A and B are shown apart, each in its own frame.
Chain A
Amino acid sequence: MKLLELRHLSTHYVSARGARVTRAVDDVSLTVGEGETLGIVGESGSGKTTLALSLLRLLPPAARIVSGEIWFEGEDLLTKSHREMRRVRGKRIAMILQDPLASLNPLFTVGDQVAEPLRVHEGASRGSAWARARELLRAVRIAAPETRVREYPHQLSGGMRQRIVGAIAISCGPRLLIADEPTTSLDLTIQAQYLQLLRDLQRDRGLSMIFITHNLGIVARMCDHVAVMYAGRLVEAGPVARIFSSAAHPYTQALLESIPRMADGRKRLTAIDGQPPDPVALPPGCAFHPRCPKVLDRCRKEAPPEVRVAASHTSRCWLAS
């Protein structure tokens, strides 16, 4: 069953004088099923974070959702009032950001911050909210939650802080968890712990997840489906196993080939030429064409449409159509 469905969503940034329009998210359609994990992969400036913020309608003032629909649990989020959106955010859709230190308020104790959404969304009393906060800390495997609830964020390590952020995210029993580069600031062994924790939480609570990352390894380990973004567009989407074994878009193929693999030793890497495009001045036609090894004449002039390559596998490339 579909939990979330985006239909032709476009979000644009308009510069102060309205002179420049940046198509940060351009005509993106995708779905997330119940209990599924979707990975959204892209480089900086590809629009993956703007896409996530569009879902929550937490965009900065310069950004505007110009078209599309966001269906979540049978309702279009774009038709909701701000008051109604507030009841969705944090309660039914939660978010984990990259930097746990910035996500936590340094002036409040861990207990206060974990209990806050419970008190706001469910009107829980202070006592019962704190009791649940201790349970939540136990759920994210923090040792000695009774003493930790009274501590402040600066007294905790990076890994522990990110687990607190996780506890806040799951506190109201959301259906969908959006994680934006949640482990980028963590060390390898701590990252492994955290990914394991997220997987367990997802299984135990039947969560759906969206993982926003630039790291294909995280996608390989965590996700069922993957959507690859380039210059604001979804260039390829499909089941993870299929994309990793038979990617249809040259960008996805090149990305997969350019990553060093442990088993390959010192074999030369296949690099992608050129630089990522400037989101303000995208090349005409397919935005990837200046770097594409398989470029056709047509790619320089016309942007390719989304084509179904196989069951639930789509690609935006002239070669695929």
Chain B
Amino acid sequence: MAGPVVEALHLTKHFPVRGGFLARETAVVRAVDEVSFSIEPGRTLGLVGESGCGKTTTAKLVLLLEQPTAGMIRFEGRDLQTLDRTMLHGYRRSVQAVFQDPFASLNPRMRVDQIIAEPLVTHERLGSGEVAKRVARLLELVGLPDRSADLFPHEFSGGQRQRIAIARSLALSPKLVVLDEPVSALDVSIRAQILNLLRDLQAQLGLSYLFIAHDLAAVAHMSHTIAVMYLGRIVEIGDAATVAATPKHPYTQALFSAALPSHPGEKREEIILAGEVPSPLAPPAGCRFHPRCPHAMERCGREEPTLLREAGRLVACHLYEGVIPARS
């Protein structure tokens, strides 16, 4: 199959805010606004941005934990809304997830084999012998000993629990795994183990990843493509190495300059942004980044820039539009 596994087209999610008399809808939070991306087989899309930028909502939309307000998700070329029940089931099987907190993501009252087998027994009719065999194979795949199957989650350390969570996400041989901050809750010395495991599994099983993290170096390390989000919008998206090495959008530049150095000798331009991320309840008019942008122009407060090709990636910034009008 040549096309992308999952594509998002103008994906939008607004949350109504109710308040006042009779709980009227008083405002909307534009959590995700017109977001488009595609994830190719065997590739990783890294999604970065600060809290409130919409990256977790995007993940929930892809996982069907939230319904989009507008826009669509295409799975292997077909719009999810047009799929019938069985095909939607197929989508659910093909898209699994690993979340940040390995203490919250495993049911404390279930044994490890039940946890890992749950997606299997939900989707397939299998004998208990076959289930046990599959669980054993999954445990081996993520590097846990066989006897883990009979234990409860609390008997494992954070890193081992995350391995259990990964084993479970692989039970149905999915095509895409959504990784929402999979290592940020883990000890520093464990993170590399898990990142390596995820990379090995990708190579071995041809998985696609949607990788969400706030650690930019980890995202750059894991991803083929990086998308940078700010207040619900993608402001820059392109090849991971290119974006990491020469960010173009002023926000991406500030974000990557804020990333901590890996060595005290590492010299780079420090851009310290003024102010804080505005509330997504009332995003600024025009370019949403303009109140904090060091390069803001008069035009930025009026007109919202669109994503345009610039130096091998897409950037939504008036700086790069030159004289050609924004419409394409």
Contact = CB atoms under 8 A, between A and B. Distances in A.
Q: Do chains A and B touch in the complex (CB under 8 A)?
A: yes
Interface of A: 43-44, 157, 159-160, 187-193, 196, 214-221, 240-241, 244-245, 251, 254-255, 258-262, 264-273, 275-276, 291
Given A188-B259, A262-B217, A262-B220, A196 B244 contact: no
Main SS class of interface, A: helix
A192 B266 CA distance: 16
Given A218-B260, A258-B192, A268-B196, A276 B221 contact: no
B192 A271 contact: yes
Contacts of A216: 188, 262
B160 to A, nearest CB: 7
Most buried by B among A159, A193, A271: A271
A244 B259 contact: no
B254 A189 contact: yes
B259 A262 contact: yes
A157 B276 contact: yes
B284 interface: no
Interface in B232-272: 240-241, 244, 254-266, 270, 272
B261 A221 contact: yes
B51 interface: yes
A261 B190 contact: no
Interface residues on B, range: 35 or more
A272 B190 CA distance: 7
Most buried by B among A157, A218, A259: A259
Nearest to B224: A266
B50 A264 contact: no
A34 B186 CA distance: 34
B263 A193 contact: no
Nearest to B183: A260
28 contacts: A187-B214, A189-B50, A189-B254, A189-B255, A189-B272, A215-B188, A218-B260, A219-B264, A220-B262, A220-B263, A221-B261, A240-B264, A241-B265, A258-B188, A258-B192, A260-B217, A260-B218, A262-B216, A262-B244, A262-B256, A262-B262, A264-B221, A269-B196, A271-B196, A272-B189, A272-B190, A275-B190, A276-B187
Contact of B188 (A159, A220, A255): A255
Contacts of A190: 50, 276
Nearest to B265: A241
Interface string B4-25: 0000000000000000000000
A289 to B, nearest CB: 14
Contacts of A254: 189
Nearest to A214: B188
A43 B221 contact: no
Nearest to B260: A217
A166 B40 CA distance: 46
Contact of A268 (B188, B199, B218, B258): B199
Contacts of A44: 187
B199 A275 contact: no
B191 interface: yes
A193 B272 contact: yes
Nearest to A260: B221
Given A188-B216, A192-B258, A259-B188, A266 B221 contact: yes
A276 B266 contact: no
A71 B195 CA distance: 43
B217 A265 contact: no
Given A188-B255, A220-B262, A160 B192 contact: no
B273 A193 contact: yes
A1 B188 CA distance: 33
A7 to B, nearest CB: 28
